[in-house]
Amino acid sequence: MAFYYLFLGHLVGDFVLQTDKIAENKGRQWKWNLLHVLVVTLSVLLFSYPFGALLSVLVILNGLVHYILDHYKSDICKILHLSELAGFLGDQFIHIVLLYFISLTAVYEKELLIEFTTVKLLIILSIVTSFLAIFTQYVLAALFPGENRRFFENGEKIFGMLSRIYITIVFYLSFHKSPLYLVFLALAVILFFVQYKRIWRNWMSLPHLLAKLLLDMAVPVLCIIMVM
């Protein structure tokens, strides 16, 4: 159980609270990287509070590892000839594995700050909004390298987050209430194609749009299945 709390703290610190300014500069300037790592570490510490002093100490040490990974990630990717997508996935894999092993030291002597069910819902919300906003860009950039990436301009980031929340709610209701709720996915598809006709077709191909739509639907489904 402790792993879920640590994972939520990581998602909040590494994605939800990471501004575009931090993301742009953390790999180039140590001050921005230090700020980023402090935010992530404090976020994980907040959720790790009920699980003992040893786990909290390991979370702080993990912050040092996080700093080193982010500082040298670009150089490592160049040496190993890794794409941005591979570097992103590798970096997150290391972070998550370390949090898993840290969670094994948890003791359950204090009352949890947040109910476990709420934690799982917050994990889904963090993934389908902030995490997926970044992950989608890496995947689409790898699939369509010749096309510009503009999802962080002109309110596109907010549009993406709101549409993914809507899609997640529809899938959640279809799993827990009735499959008939899947009919409401048609609205999301219509919104995507309207946005494509209005703006995205100026720089995005139709296969690019379909790939984005598939990602924005597939990941919420996987999240819901994983935490059911």
pLDDT per position as a tens digit, 61-90: 999 999 999 988 888 888 888 888 899 999
pLDDT at 150: 58
Residue keyed to tokens 């919420």: 220
Collect the ranges in the chain with pLDDT lower than 50.
none
Give the long-range contacts of residues 81-89, CB within 8 A, separation 24 or more.
Answer: 83/142, 84/138, 84/141, 84/142, 85/138, 85/139, 85/141, 85/142, 88/134, 88/135, 88/138, 89/138
- Of 15, 102, 5, 105, residue with least CA distance to 48: 5
pLDDT at 26: 85
Q: What is this structure's pTM?
A: 0.89
pLDDT at 151: 56
- What is the 3 state secondary structure string of 59-73? HHHHHHHHHHHHHHH
DSSP track, 60-118 = HHHHHHHHHHHHHHHHHHHHHT--HHHHHHHHHHHHHHHHHHHHTT----S--SS-HHH
Alpha helix segments (H runs only) across the chain: 2-11, 20-25, 30-48, 53-80, 84-103, 116-126, 132-143, 156-176, 185-198, 206-227
